Chain A
């Protein structure tokens, strides 16, 4: 039963996820009008966002009902 649920569950596509975040960053550059905004002013926001994304991912994988496969 658990295997059935695991097989039916959709796996997260990490490449698509990273590219989506990169596209959002590029879009923010376009909205700002400053091509160097991301490298100069937004470095701290990029780092904070990356840490936040990792934290949210860890929280999401630890939620009940998303018990991961027991490797051991």
Chain B
């Protein structure tokens, strides 16, 4: 050994050792510092590599929609917010309330960010899912096809509400945050094109039967109607065609749903029971205890003390109560009331479509998103618009008959369309902003709201038909322009 040292000068040894070290380090360094994702959560790059985790991303979206007991921050909160904005609801609200008061009094400002942020959060996830699923090569093809279609369906669903609430909206279709942060608003027509495209593709690819959580296995008996199917896509497509004035297609799509024996109109008190035959797509509650049933039930079903505070401030407006025809069974079955002793024996009527509020009861109701009655009303309107009076009457009467009402007296296109608007009001109240959208779509919003807004303690201007874009968006995306009036 000694001789070796002597033959090597110190410098040479240093260089040698350095080389030895350096070679080892640079080859192993990169690899060493790349660690796998923790097992407590799943990484974007591996979540789509496996059928089960890929399916749970889409399940996560539905669960996210269903999880809030009072869903004011989520997209599903528009059942409440739009009902406040229109003439469905009255409320006892302090002006300091930020969640409902501005919607109720039609006094939104750019400080109100719901449901904008929720919608775009969902859109990001569907975009991420479409990108991840498309790139994945390790999924069962049927699962991959179903999940991509579910994501497209849900993206269209979000854009449908975004475009109807805000008008022209930015339309990110990828997850690139740098590009998305600079998007301008896309014209409404173009957004609708994308919605129709997504829905058409989704409809072609989605399963015709309700699938289990693996997005692959159909239920053999008593299906859970909580994942989108081909029929959900058709139903939403019918609505999108109707909103864009493509009546022939609206009729055709509604027909595919109505004609499917899976769906029928059950008795009124069965409509909102879980997996009723009326259900095209519903959301399953995901909590336990007092939150085992729907957020709508928790919010609307008033306690014996009546509406109060900021938690349960809502009850039905006189406008809505007075618009029911005599003997309309919906008024007795879908509306309930409380008469608290204080203050002064006032009776408050509240939506009673969902029968279970915030009580610890086993899950018996799911949050309805798409249901058959609306398809009848869509087809009735589409047929009326195309001059098919009898066909339109038949569809309208199908809905009226269940409510214990006689056949419609409307006999021409104009009166039929008015009758359908009325029917939507009493059939679909406090459901997914239907009244608000119908008023806007039919151009009657100014007339109706000029009457309704002062009753609620607000004022009306036409610009209020569109919600404002939240201020954060305008500050952080220089290419966004606010809706006029705000």
Partners in one complex: no
